[in-house]
Amino acid sequence: MIVRQMSTSVHLFWTGKPILLAQLSCLLFLASCSMPAGEVPMPAGLPTPTAAAIPNPVTAGDETQPDLSPTPPPSAHVPREGLYLAQPGNPIDVTVPDGTPLRPGEPFTKTWRLVNVGLESWTPEFALVWFSGDTMSLYKEQSLRVVVAPGEALELSVEMIAPEKPGSYQSNWKLRAADGTLFGLGPHGNSPFWAKIQVEDIGMASAAAASPTPQATTVINGYIRLNPSDELDFDGVEPVADAMTDVKFVVDGDSGAQLSPVNGARISIFGSRIPTYDECVSSLLFADSIGLVLSDAPAYICFYTDQKIPGYASLDLSQIDVNVLVLTYATWDIP
């Protein structure tokens, strides 16, 4: 047999002489060694394979790993770092700084000053909300009612009442964005701001040093929403319409919104802060109606009920334009 090599193919011709199998294997081995490295002979008639791109495998030692997190749809809201952030104003505690001593049941207004240091404006859809700790407030949230652009400051106030038992109390609050996100102070907006007071039995402490002086105590606290013609009994907690009521919310086409004392009760405007017991009992009170106008700031009144019991009320005038009056009130008594 004669072996001829043509290109990469091997052709065998028989010469009529026997040949050993081992010799034939050796010849085939020599012929294959003459092929270029890396090539494998393909049987005739099969298509030539084409190259396909294969991604490089990632091993445990690679520094860069593939990002396998799902990609949100274009319409999804993806929170950004620093979107909602607040910073303490100067000062943050406009009223009632930490550790302020108060009498049991004493009403007070806590006001914070905060600065918007986030990326978005705070809108009227944002709210101040109770977060944790002691509530001390008759309601747990209130809307901002204004727009606060980044870099601007805002003062937020909450009407509170000191608990009846002596001790230290802390009420923690945060802001809530229109999308429901809660945020507060700190670089990540995780920390709340608070009202921290010390309730002391001031009457007992002063008795050791001087003659006992009667102390006013709060016997009734109330928070109520009045519609036109609703009447309120400051000696109770429900709107009623009988001979025991003290004031009536009136909306007249000519005179506008008014708060009118009834059944012998008396009222008067005090100002823009909570009055003390002594300030209310020494004020001149009248049986005349008080005109109410739209305002974002609360107004405070002093009153005597039909039973001649003193007290004060905070008037929320932000909804007067839709004929709604919200009152927070406290009725005092001397033991």
Q: What's the pLDDT tens digit per position in 176-232?
A: 999 999 999 988 888 999 999 999 976 554 444 444 555 566 667 778 899 999 998
Which whole number is the average pLDDT over 294-317?
A: 89
Confidence band (pLDDT; 50, 70, 90) for 270? confident
DSSP string computed for 92-116: EESSS-TTEEE-TT-EEEEEEEEEE
Whose structure tokens read 């092929």?
Answer: 35
For residue 332, CA distances in Å to 8, 103, 112, 284, 303 come to 112, 13, 27, 17, 10
Residues 243 and 303 in one domain: yes
SS3 177: coil
Burial class, 113, CB count within 10 angstroms (exposed 0-12 / middle 13-18 / buried 19+): middle
What integer pLDDT is reported at residue 260 of this predicted model? 93
CA angle 133, 138, 142 (to 5 degrees): 85
What total of structural domains would you count in the chain? 3
Give residue 332's identity as a one-letter amino acid code.
W
Distance CA 41, CA 8 (A): 8
> Which CATH number do you get for residue 93?
2.60.40.10
Q: Does residue 281 belong to any structural domain of this protein?
A: yes
Tokens of 109: 């207004």
Domain-embedded: residue 28: yes
Tokens of residue 196, six digits = 């921290």
Query: CA angle 109-112-328, nearest 5°?
Result: 25
Q: Using CA atoms, how far apart are residues 84 and 127, in angstroms rounded to an integer?
A: 13
pLDDT in tens, 73-108: 333 333 345 789 999 988 899 999 998 999 998 999
Is the same domain home to 196 and 234? no
Q: Which domain holds residue 314?
A: 216-333
Query: Does residue 177 sit in the same domain as residue 121?
Result: yes
DSSP 307: T
pTM equals 0.43
pLDDT digits (tens, 9 = 90+) for 126-172: 999 999 999 898 788 999 889 999 999 999 999 999 999 999 999 99
- Count of positions (residues) in the chain: 335
295 in a domain, yes or no? yes
Q: How far apart, in Å, are the Cα atoms of 59 and each of 49, 67, 68, 82?
A: 28, 14, 15, 36
Q: Are residues 199 and 289 in the same domain?
A: no
